[in-house]
Amino acid sequence: MTLLKMKFNQQRRVRLAQGLWLMSWLAVTGGAFIFCLGVYLKTELLRRDEVMENAEIHVVPNILMMVGLASMGTNWVASRVCQDSLDVSRFPRWKVPLLAWFAMAALLCCLLLTVVVLSYALQGSLEDSLKVGLRNGIRFYKDTDVPGRCFQKETIDRLQMEFRCCGNNNFKDWFEVQWVSSRYLDFTSQEVKDRIRSNVDGRYLLDGVPFSCCNPASPRPCLQNHLTDSRAHYNYEYQSEELNLYSRGCRQALTDYYMGLMNSTGPGVLSLFSCVQMSVLLSMRYLQTAVEAAIASENPEGESEGYLLDKGVKETYQDVRAKVLGLLKFGQVDPSEDASGAAEGAKTADTEKAATPTPAS
């Protein structure tokens, strides 16, 4: 019992081929768009490479780029098949490549779904990577004379200004590290000596933040130093001051930004594209079966039947399973049979396979 049988006359076949040709070119542009999306996401991730510790999140744009390129190629092949489908002499050469094509198209749909799932699932990994990267960035902020870390200061300053954030979780992260290099500290000053002695590691810690934490929207000029001391500044209340510095942490800001990028494009674009790809796949199946039936019958211009699956879903699945197992057993030597007998049996099985039209590919 065939699955979803439909009758096709010549005109309907022509219409189907034309419609499929248009849809496959639409899918090619969709694939190009997805590739560009992947490239954009990758460049955005690479720009902030310095504050990310690992590159696990890069798997999302990598898959997007691969899927984009693969779908461009696959759908271009589909358009070639459409052009050949109405020519009786040229269609049969597509018989075997179409099997590979169906497998590829199904794989693409699965990959797209995987990308959407991954973009949500990797959020935790992104946050962890940012946590470590930002912590190191803040720690090495002062090392502008150490090769390999010269530009940490500039990177962190620009990051904080662009994303309007301060520190890792919040601005207090700056109180725990020495962010002023010892080159610029006057060790003869009493104040400096006090601060250095005040902690075990001998670091110059202060309750101050760099200038890049300052919020331009504050009505008062930025207060950077002695932040926890309400008496150090006139008309300043440490607990209630909100606008002076950026209150958001950079990890939160960056995570929100990247999640926003991936989630705004992910579900919408990718589900639309996978719909287009699925419809291309189904239409191609109908076209293939209809045209093959028409060619096989005496009248190539007459009516033919197109279907999705030759037998029902269950029977097709059992068939495919048996075939795959047969393929796997082909390499094994069966101890009960002769070696030549096994080879002969394998050969006849092979020819049988080639003769019958493969129902589910």
CA atoms within 13 A on the CB side of 150: 3
Residues lying near another protein in the complex (CB under 8 A) are found at 144-145, 150, 153-154, 157-158, 161, 179-181, 183-186, 189, 210-212, 214, 216-217, 219-222, 224, 233-235
Determine the longest span between alpha carbons in the chain, in angstroms: 105
Q: What is the torsional sign of CA 200, 201, 203, 205?
A: negative
Nearer to another protein by C-beta: 161 or 278? Answer: 161
Tell me the closest approach of the beta carbon of residue 205 to another protein, in angstroms: 14
Q: How far is CA 142 from the centre of its chain?
A: 36
Nearest 5°: the CA angle 208, 152, 194 is 35
CA distance readout (Å), 284 to 88, 121, 180, 208: 16, 33, 66, 66
Q: Where are the beta strands (DSSP E) in 103-145?
A: none
Taking the least distance from each CB to another protein, the nearer of 5 and 220 is 220
Is 38 or 210 the residue whose CB approaches another protein more closely?
210
Q: Which is nearer to another protein, 181 or 358 (CB)?
A: 181
- Nearer to another protein (CB atom), residue 131 or residue 153: 153
Min. distance of Cβ 244 from another protein in angstroms? 11
As measured in angstroms, the least distance from the Cβ of 27 to another protein is 27
CB of 247 vs another protein, minimal distance in Å: 16
CB-nearer residue toward another protein: 211 or 330: 211
**Cβ atoms within 10 Å of 105's Cβ, excluding its own:** 24
- Write phi, then psi, for 207 (nearest 5 degrees): -90, 60
Q: How far is the CB of 48 from another protein (least distance, A)?
A: 15
Rounded to a whole number of angstroms, the minimum distance from the CB of residue 250 to another protein is 14
Give the up-direction half-sphere exposure of residue 80: CA atoms within 13 A in the CB hemisphere.
12
> In whole angstroms, how close is the CB of 39 to another protein at the nearest point?
24
Q: How far apart are CA 309 and CA 262, in angstroms?
A: 36
Instruction: Look up residue 187 and give its DSSP letter.
Output: T
Does residue 298 sit in helix, strand or coil?
A: coil
By C-beta, is 181 or 279 nearer to another protein? 181
